[in-house]
Amino acid sequence: MRTSAESCELRSLNARLLQLERECSDARDEGRLLTALFASFTKIATARAPEEAVAAMLRAAHEPLGFARAIYFRVERERGIVAEQQLDRSDAVEPSHEIPDLRPGSALLSVLRDDLSGSVGRAGELSAPLVDVRDWYVVSPLSHAEGTLGVLYVDGHRSPRPREWEAGLVHALTTIAAVSIQNGVLFAKTQALAAHDPLTGILNRRTFDERLNAELVNSRESARSLVYVMIDVDDFKKINDSAGHAYGDSVLRKVAETLVRSSRSQDVVARYAGDEFAVLLVDVEGSRAHDMVARLSLGLRGNGLRCSLGAALFPYDAQDGRNLMIAADRALYAAKSAGKNGFAFA
């Protein structure tokens, strides 16, 4: 027979074994969570566009972190705090129409003032970003060197009790997402700068040629015409010589603005080289080509600009981009030979 002391010791050992089993189980769960979270961090960090990084962040908050609802609030100078994207009990990221609570004491405002960062809140303890708080929640800012990009709000966790270490993981999530979103913004700006002419703001020659090749494919598939228009500022050297290069630059900007206004949103307008511009009139009925080029010419003359235009029609004047450009260039010099400040077709 066991003595009372032996029985007590056995119960203590059993309790300790159960505790160790729970700790081992918790460690395995945490290991699986961290492995899955690392994969989510990688998706966020490698996102090319800001919206992709936001979507990956929301999905990570849902799974593996275990929150039923995740909402991204974007911080804007003009509009303030705006709910942008959300995920609610699924893997579907959708536009959010939530109206944030911005009253004094709001967790959202506290985060933006750095009073509360990645901390746990409970319904009733602090005014959350939403009215219908689902038990405990976490609010964490997406900050970078120049300020706060947005705020991540999560609630409805599968654990009924708050877990501070998971709140820390939410904060880690927003730290990585902030870097990825900012990188995406900078990448988009770099791409835009690389695609546009710095003086006039319209597309440059390289981007125009890329768009030309793409539009030629579309025109072949749709059996629609495309008009390649080359524009040259008449006597531009005399303008620079008599009025100076600063005035010449203002003329080029005015030509670009006029061409954009005189063309349609789907058309492609670019500065080709020096005082030469190019316009691609896409998805055009052949019978309307003349009127559309005439509109460009009339717009320039109406704005006090003397320019010659040469136009070539795909597929009638040429079958590829290079020969289409050659045909338009030939028409341009025909317009100049006819007295300038007008247009001609190949």
Task: Determine the Cα–Cα distance for residues 21 and 6; give it in Å rounded to an integer.
Answer: 22
> How much is the pLDDT for 109?
76
What pLDDT, on the 0 to 100 scale, is given for residue 98? 83
Q: Report the distance separating Cα 292 and Cα 297, nearest Å.
A: 9
pLDDT of residue 9: 67
Can you give the pLDDT at residue 59?
93
The full set of domain ranges for the chain reads 20-192, 205-345
Taking only the tens place, the pLDDT of each residue in 182-219 is 888 888 888 778 889 999 999 999 999 999 999 999 98
- The pair of structure tokens assigned to 188 is 């988009």
Greater confidence, 100 or 179? Answer: 179
- Let me know how long the chain is: 346
Q: Is the pLDDT of residue 2 over 60?
A: no
As a whole number of angstroms, the distance between CA 81 and CA 139 comes to 14
Flag whether pLDDT at 83 surpasses 60.
yes
Average pLDDT (10-38) is 63
**In terms of Cα–Cα distance, which of 27, 23, 59 is closest to 40?**
59
When pLDDT is averaged across residues 91-110 and rounded to a whole number, the result is 81
Q: CA-to-CA distance for 64 and 180, rounded, in angstroms?
A: 19
**What percent of the chain shows pLDDT beyond 70?**
86
Determine the residue type at 292.
Answer: M
Res. 27: pLDDT tops 90: no
pLDDT reported for residue 77 = 73
Check whether 20 has a pLDDT greater than 80: no
Q: Compute the distance between CA of residue 282 and CA of residue 213 in angstroms, rounded to an integer.
A: 12
pLDDT at 112: 73
pLDDT at 12 over 90: no
20-192 is classed CATH 3.30.450.40 = yes
Residue with tokens 């009638």: 316
Identify the pLDDT of residue 191. 79
Residue type, position 197, single letter: D
Rounded mean pLDDT of the chain? 85
Share of the chain above pLDDT 90, in %: 47
pLDDT at 117 over 80: no
Q: Tell me the pLDDT tens digit for each residue of 131-190.
A: 777 888 888 888 877 778 889 999 988 888 877 777 888 988 999 999 998 888 888 888
What is the CATH number that goes with domain 205-345? 3.30.70.270
CA contacts within 13 A on the Cβ side of 148: 23
Q: Is the pLDDT of residue 315 over 70?
A: yes
The answer to whether 38 and 66 have CB atoms below 8 angstroms apart is no
